[in-house]
A and B are shown apart, each in its own frame.
Chain A
């Protein structure tokens, strides 16, 4: 008989996970799959069912756990509960640095998905095309993780290890995302490229976060590209190139192909690798141009 657990507190959830993990070590139990909005788990199940393959059936449903919900301020950071849905995120009052994340949220599936899918699920699922990840990386988000062994906090950039691989142990839960606050002069945006209007998985995506100093120079900049490597990737070389420069038209020329060499895109049915690499640069330039102003946008492309 499959197991379905629906604990009402973080504490009991963690102890259930710990029990299951111990049982599994002793080879007597099944792995427990953590279930949030189900928008990755159920489609994956459909794929398995179609070919009569087995799929996970033992669930730890975390949707009743109050500690995983809500968005709140915590000192110099914003804490986004793992169960926060895209719709809740869009509705939340957040500083402009979060605009990219909100733009991404509005493009995750349709409303049906946005109403149910969670940010926590998006990062744990760790798809190369996960749209939440590039903006969160640009925000320098950290992942708050809990287990009966204690709590830990890791940068999102190290949390996601590969295509559908994370740093999460089987007895751990993602509790929240911790996003340090940025200056009020931040601008952020998200660009997504797909082959149709709605409900589309990114061919490439890009998120930019630009902090501008009073003198008009770029005090900080983060640029990340999704779907163009096994893991959404921050372009450190590009950031270094632009940091400290005036945010103006001339900057666009500095966005050279060499600065994208850290990307390792794949050939697949959605696009060729070569194309992905080029498209990433186009999106980033367009994003940067949008930060500079309308005239730059016109010339950017």
Chain B
């Protein structure tokens, strides 16, 4: 009937090659690239234009491939990340990104690189505003953008020599040889030789695949014959439901083969972090407890799943009154969400020391307040994705996770199998931040693969990822603090309630960790800190960078600002006066033995602090609508699990070919553990990083390193890696007369050993070896020593703590209530910076998330389930950050190192809020400080700029 009706295929040019696509004309280009052409380097984070991960060039202009129907590409040219290296500018960008550590998890990197290419092709001399504008359409959740800007601005230096990221640059085992990535004019970003691994700015060993689109994330791989799975989810916060006749339904839906419900789960229909709190079903039974909860899963062909219309699904919903927020859950007539917890209190944690009431009575100054925060979404750019398949009597799950062994045990439980019958192969992880500690789609995939005997894959959509998975706990914290006339803190009391949502997840961890950290990193003789995790019908609150400590820090830092003022002390000096030092006792009665660098952090900040304060004073002399404020906040963070064992095991082996095999089960979620642990092992072993071949995170190949959370991998797995290296070294030396001073060098299969006592060569090729070619090996364990907390919360919950202090300058618009950040200076005691570039990257990213927490992020179910209504910081929202690394060595840690992942985030929000108070005289206690909340607070205090 219609001449122009779209009939045949679309012909377009992709990376210089003509291709013909016979897909549906309205199919998104991103999908065509990934699924029809196998070009999975183009990432999909939202399908809505919001994240920019899918950025490609169409006729030289950047575009979101997820918004372009393939029909519109007829006769046009498309360039993707896979074609980037064809352009000398593209290669320069790759080198510069690698050198500067601009890719962490790497999921945003293809989009960043394509947007950069667009800019650098158009403009020869670029400046920062141009970079921010050109890349402003791509979001990154890991880096805080600063190193990305640096890399783009610096790309020119990497233009020649003209060897690209070709095969030679990546040795067979995937370890980068990055010598040629040095900029022409000198650098230290090469691979260090013996004895210089620790402390060197080694470029990420897993970095190159993140720069050319070859990294394999959860959505990037699945068997050809895999069927697709989509969950049917509750649109209601709480509802009863009845599922109708599925047999008839399936027979009427071409391309749909099966629907799974709770009845199909062969093992236990429940999972959860703690052995005694496995309260979350794979598929809800009878009643759902939050919007987004899965009740069933449909499995079928891609096209059928795509066109699936839930209105045809036989289910009847009967919405019930939900428990919304802490008020709803704690109200006297609230129903019990879980029968075992009639008052909806999942768990309590507390720490009690001294005599709080008499301390308050006897103190010169007091401050108190109520602080509240909202659900915060991890917003990693990679939504959950993966596949499962049945292999004989076992099941394999390939998916994005932070905790392979926990994932294995959950899947085994759900299938009714032994843990050893489940293999978890972690994909590259496109961001986690705590949100990929819990299983998400793994149990569903495994059940489906087990029941159907064919591989099953799934990719969460963005709204699904946001609705279904965990959040940061909203908190309501009532706190009081007091000090004596000299400004010494005498007492701190806190009642903190955390909305843990529908299921337990990490609620107990938050309730346990917060009372320990609740005073902040100060000497406080009298403490009464109590926390509760409360069930509601909100989203599941779980683990998110800091486990409740960031929320608690907002309260204590605000109160200490007030006390400092009342005591007539400068805010920094107040903190320095009270800062924990070696030999001090914490709230839990732990006497700190070593590695307490907070005083050094504060002293390092002092000159910057004074300069910022002076600038503020000068600026505020003029009565304009903009007011400058300066804020400060300190933090501490116990590294590893709270008063629980959390061991790690690492293994190293030397092969006949003269390679060091490093079996490392720690998942690199972008934080850089793969690189850092290798640096530690290399240093301890006495061989260069370049001699290493990495075998990472696969539960069949690597031992349990514990989860990538609690900032523990550098400290715990790092120590295990050091021990493994020392064991291997000892094993080698046992076969020689060389002394402990021996220096190793590898040349092919020849291991040269030089020491005062003896110089010798071991011919590895001639040495007896196992089938795997392994000649020598060594394993190492580490479990940080802790002591359980007693009934009053006294004990040694952590072996070591990270410390930090950050200061920030910002401007508040006294009329609009908007906040513009000017500059951060962050001083962090990391024990030892194994890799300063990676440490800086963690601090940048942590501060960026702290900015989001303080100023913009608020997850509201049903309202902000996408990345345009849920705002995370974009380019331009993260100001310059100056970093001061303080190294108060931790004797237990590898080469003195502790952790930095979470410490980076904790002080940022309280520092910002303190600066707002300094600028305006108003303390914002309802977080995030959105413009309308700031304006309302200003008005309430009579300080708004009225016109």
Please give me the residue from chain B that is nearest to A114 by CB atom.
Answer: B137
Let me know if A6 and B2 touch, CB within 8 A.
Answer: no
Chain B residues in 8 Å Cβ range of A45: 47
Q: How far is the CA of A11 from the CA of B559 in the complex (A)?
A: 70
In the complex, which residues 173-200 of chain B have their Cβ closer than 8 Å to any Cβ of chain A? none
Q: Which partner residue on chain B sits nearest A199 by CB separation?
A: B874
Contacts of B340 in A (CB 8 A): none
Q: Which residues of B contact A54 (CB under 8 A)?
A: 309, 311
* Contact status of A46 and B462, CB under 8 A, knowing A112-B63, A116-B67, A272-B932: yes
Is the Cβ of B876 less than 8 Å from the Cβ of A43?
no
Expressed in whole angstroms, the Cα–Cα distance for A200 and B58 within the complex equals 24
Q: Which residues of A contact B876 (CB under 8 A)?
A: 196-198
Which residue among A5, A57, A298 has the maximum number of chain B CB atoms within 10 Å of its CB? A5
B30: nearest residue on chain A (CB-CB)? A42
Does A301 sit at the interface, judged by CB under 8 A?
yes
Known: A115-B61, A196-B856. A61 touches B72 (CB 8 A): yes
Nearest-CB residue, chain B, relative to A253? B947
A53 pairs with B137, CB closer than 8 A: no
Alpha-carbon distance A19/B1, docked complex (angstroms): 10
B264 within 8 Å of A by Cβ? Answer: no
Partner of A113, one of B47, B64, B871, B874: B64
Bound complex: CA A59 to CA B233 (Å) = 29
Question: A109 on the interface (CB 8 Å rule)?
Answer: yes
Q: Cβ of A12 and Cβ of B3 under 8 Å apart?
A: yes
> Is B871 touching A195 in the complex (CB atoms < 8 A)?
yes
Chain B positions 850 through 892: 1 when the CB is less than 8 Å from some CB of chain A, otherwise 0: 0000011010100111101101111111000000000000000
Q: Are A50 and B461 in contact (CB under 8 A)?
A: yes
Residues of A near B935 (CB, < 8 A) are 275, 278-279
Residues of B44-61 whose CB lies within 8 A of A:
46-50, 52, 55, 58, 61
A-B contact count (CB 8 A): 214
Per-position 1/0 for A72-93, Cβ under 8 A of B: 0000000000000001000000
Given contacts A35-B69, A269-B858, contact A43 B463 (CB under 8 A): no
Contacts of A198 in B (CB 8 A): 132-133, 136-137, 874-877
- The interface residues of chain A lying within 8 Å CB-to-CB of B932 are 203, 271-272, 274-276
Tell me the nearest residue of chain A to B70, going by C-beta: A4
User: Is A266 an interface residue when CB atoms closer than 8 A count as contact?
Assistant: no
Q: What CA separation (Å) do A3 and B869 show in the bound complex?
A: 31
Pairwise interchain contact B133-A279, C-beta atoms closer than 8 A:
no
> Which residues of A are found within 8 Å of B866, using beta-carbon distances?
43, 46-47
Q: Is B308's CB within 8 Å of the partner chain A?
A: yes
Q: Which of B2, B66, B462 contacts A42 (CB 8 A)?
A: B66
- Please state if A195 and B855 are interface contacts (CB–CB under 8 Å): yes
A39 contacts chain B at the CB level, 8 A cutoff? yes
Question: Among residues 144 to 184 in chain A, which have CB atoms less than 8 Å away from a CB atom of chain B?
Answer: none
B71 and A61 within 8 A (CB): yes
CB-CB under 8 A from B772, the residues of chain A are: none
Contact of A112 among B46, B55, B856, B875 (CB under 8 A): B55
- In the complex, the answer to whether A38 meets B69 with C-beta atoms within 8 Å is yes
Contact of B309 among A3, A53, A115, A275 (CB under 8 A): A53
The distance in angstroms between the C-alpha atoms of A201 and B626, with both chains bound, is 23
**Residues in B neighbouring A38, C-beta threshold 8 A:** 67-69, 72
> In the complex, which residues 2-22 of chain B have their Cβ closer than 8 Å to any Cβ of chain A?
2-6
The answer on a CB contact under 8 Å between A43 and B67 is yes
Contact of A46 among B461, B625, B860, B873 (CB under 8 A): B461
Residue of A nearest to B622 (CB): A298
Is A222 an interface residue, CB under 8 A from the partner? no
> In the complex, are the beta carbons of B877 and A43 less than 8 A apart?
no
Nearest CB on B from A269, distance (A): 5
State the CA gap A52–B118 with chains docked (Å): 35
Cβ-based interface call for A2 (8 A):
yes
Q: Are B68's CB and A301's CB within 8 A?
A: no
Q: From known contacts A43-B49, A197-B876, A203-B931, infer whether A49 and B5 are also in contact, taking CB-CB under 8 Å.
A: no
Residue A8 interfacial (CB < 8 Å): yes
Known: A2-B26, A5-B2, A42-B48. A116 touches B311 (CB 8 A): no
Interface presence of A16 (CB below 8 A): yes
Residues 231-256 of chain A: 1 if any B CB is under 8 Å from the residue's CB, otherwise 0?
00000000000000000000010010
Residues of A within 8 A of B464 (CB): 50
Q: Is A63 an interface residue (CB 8 A)?
A: yes
Q: Is B55 within 8 A of A49, CB to CB? A: no
User: Which residues A21-65 have CB closer than 8 A to chain B?
Assistant: 35, 37-39, 42-43, 45-47, 49-54, 57, 59, 61, 63
A301's partner among B66, B858, B945 (CB-CB below 8 A) is: B945
* A112-B62, A198-B132, A301-B945 given; A50·B818 CB < 8 A: no
A187: interface (CB < 8 Å): no
Q: Which residues of B contact A51 (CB under 8 A)?
A: 233, 235, 310, 463
Does A124 make an interface contact (CB < 8 A)? no
- CA separation between A3 and B2, bound complex, in Å? 10
| Interface membership of A290, Cβ < 8 A | no
CB distance from A33 to the nearest CB of B (A): 10
| Cβ of B864 to closest chain A Cβ, rounded Å | 6
- Check if A7 is an interface residue, CB within 8 A of chain B: yes
Chain A residues near B814: list those with CB within 8 A: 301
A102 at the interface (CB under 8 A from B): no
Chain B residues, Cβ within 8 Å of A252: 947
Q: Within 8 Å CB of A199, what residues of B?
A: 50, 136-137, 139, 868, 874
C-alpha gap A271/B817 in the complex (Å): 11
For A46, the chain B residues whose CB sits under 8 A away are 46-48, 66, 461-463, 866
Contact B4 A301 (CB under 8 A): no
Contacts of A52 in B (CB 8 A): 230, 232, 308-310, 313
Which residue, B28, B138, B873, B931, has most C-beta atoms of chain A within 10 A?
B931
- For A94, the chain B residues whose CB sits under 8 A away are none
- CB atoms of A53 and B310 under 8 A apart: yes
Q: A63-B72, A115-B62 are in contact. Are A110 and B52 (CB under 8 A)?
A: yes
**A6 and B873 form a contact (CB under 8 A):** no
Is B24 at the interface (CB under 8 A from chain A)?
A: yes
Q: Is B931's CB under 8 angstroms from A271's CB?
A: yes
Given contacts A4-B26, A301-B626, 4 further A-B contacts (CB under 8 A): A3-B5, A8-B4, A16-B2, A42-B49
Contact sample, A vs B, 22 pairs, CB 8 Å cutoff: A2-B26, A3-B5, A16-B4, A38-B68, A46-B48, A50-B865, A51-B233, A54-B309, A57-B26, A59-B25, A61-B25, A61-B69, A110-B52, A113-B49, A115-B62, A116-B68, A196-B873, A275-B932, A278-B935, A279-B931, A282-B815, A301-B947
Interface residues of A (CB under 8 A from B): 2-8, 12, 16, 19, 35, 37-39, 42-43, 45-47, 49-54, 57, 59, 61, 63, 87, 109-113, 115-116, 193, 195-201, 203, 252, 255, 268-272, 274-276, 278-279, 281-282, 285, 298, 300-301
Nearest 8 CB-CB pairings of A with B: A110-B137, A197-B876, A301-B625, A198-B136, A50-B463, A275-B932, A52-B310, A43-B48
